[in-house]
Structure 1
Amino acid sequence: MTTFLPKDVQAGLDAARRATGRRRNRLAVEVDGQRYPVLRMWEKGFAVDIATVPMLRGLVDLYDGAHHLKRCLIVAASQEAFEMQYEFKQMTEASAEQPLDFERREDAPVALLARDLGI
């Protein structure tokens, strides 16, 4: 049995694989205000379509739809067929709250009430 495929058949298979990945995946990577779809993601990296996404480098944000998942520092790892694979050098979970630089006491008041001055 041969594993050789004509170029037009291989191109058709690659196009179908890209289209399937775009339809079922909501993951996206954002760089400089531009969002690009992520084809697949694993524990130490992710892959994007090499034909539609420029070379990425540095700090990026990962989104699942509108939900901000992570802020990542990435490097290009490898290129396979129609996808470019990137690996995480550093990954930080996104949070809606700003980090505190002090310890918050458990018995701390949650609000301040103004005194009634009778004015």
Structure 2
Amino acid sequence: MTDVLPKEVLEGLELARKRDLKKRSRLRVKVGDATYPILRTWDNGFALDRDNADHLRGLVDVFDGSKHLYQALIVASKEEDHEMSFEFKRATCATDKPPLDYDRPDDAPVALLPR
């Protein structure tokens, strides 16, 4: 079927497909002040639009809307069609409280009540 369609039509279809993937996905990669929409994800990586993300590597933050999911160390793995695939070297889940330096007993008080 691709042999029959003109090059301009194929490029238009690819642009429409990318635009649809970007609208559907809430997942984003943030590097410094720049933010890139994630097109698709899998267990140990994700794919971005190749046009604006072929230079990414190192430490990034992954968000679902405004919720910080994890901080990851990434490396570019392969290029296919109009996507650049990245793999996680390390992915650490983001939490909203600091880690404890000790084991907290199960019967520890939750809060201090004033007298």
Q: State the TM bucket, normalised to the shorter chain.
A: 0.7 to 0.9
C-alpha distance in 2 between matches for 1:55 and 1:26 = 22
Percent of pairs with identical residues: 50
* Residue of structure 2 equivalent to 1:38: 38
TM, length-normalised to structure 1: 0.84
- How has the CA–CA distance of structure 1 residues 107 and 40 changed in structure 2, closer, same or farther, with 3 Å as cutoff? same
Give the whole-Å Cα distance in 1 for the aligned partners of 2:62 and 2:72. Answer: 8
Which residue in the other structure is 1:15 paired with?
A: 15
Give structure 1 stretches of 5+ with no counterpart: none
Matches within 5 A, 1:1-119: 3-4=2-3, 5-53=5-53, 55-112=55-112
Following TM superposition, by how much is the alpha carbon of 1:52 offset from its aligned partner in structure 2, in angstroms? 2.7
Once residues 43 and 63 of structure 1 are traced to their aligned partners in structure 2, the CA distance between those partners, rounded to angstroms, is 16
1:68-100 Cα offsets, whole Å, 9 max, x none, are 111111100011121111011111111111111
Partner Cα distance (1:64, 1:105) in 2: 33
Greater gyration radius: 1
Q: Which amino acid aligns with 1:71?
A: Q
Structure 1 residues 84, 14: CA separation in 2 closer, same or farther (over 3 Å shift)? same
Q: Secondary structure at the match of 2:96?
A: coil
Paired with 1:100 and 1:33, the residues of 2 have a C-alpha distance of 30
How does the TM-score come out when normalised to structure 2? 0.86
Partner of 1:52, secondary structure, is: helix
Give me the CA root mean square deviation: 1.9
